[in-house]
Amino acid sequence: MAQHKSAKKRIRRNARRDVINHARLGRIRTFVKAVETAIAGGSKTAAQAALKAAMPEMQRGAGKGVLAKKAVARKISRFVQRIKKLAA
């Protein structure tokens, strides 16, 4: 258990950040699931709209350190490739 005042403050701060990060990750998952559903449905316009909504959330998560930046870039790139294949 923490003894110093600064260590106790660090524990409180980490708990607050954990709640915020968990909520942000949940939002990202929701947007990603919407993209996956649109791609599975086969509608290119719906998939593009879902990806357009999901990209800022994913990039914000990367900027805040919830997700790795390169992982987000990779996922977005793969979504774009999959959406392009829908038209072909």
> What pLDDT does 26 receive?
97
Q: Looking at residue 88, what is its pLDDT? A: 60
For the cut 90, the answer to whether the pLDDT of residue 64 exceeds it is yes
Q: What is the reported pLDDT for 45?
A: 94
Domain ranges of the chain: 5-87
24 vs 17: CA distance, rounded Å? 10
- Range 43-48 average pLDDT: 94
In the CATH scheme, what architecture does the domain 5-87 have?
Answer: Up-down Bundle (1.20)
Coil, strand or helix: which one is 59?
Answer: helix
Query: Is it the case that residue 87 has pLDDT exceeding 80?
Result: no
CB atoms within 10 A of CB 40: 10
Residue 1: pLDDT band by 50, 70, 90 thresholds?
Answer: confident
d(CA 30, CA 88): 27
Neighbouring CB atoms inside 10 A of 6's CB total 8
Check pLDDT > 90 for residue 22.
yes
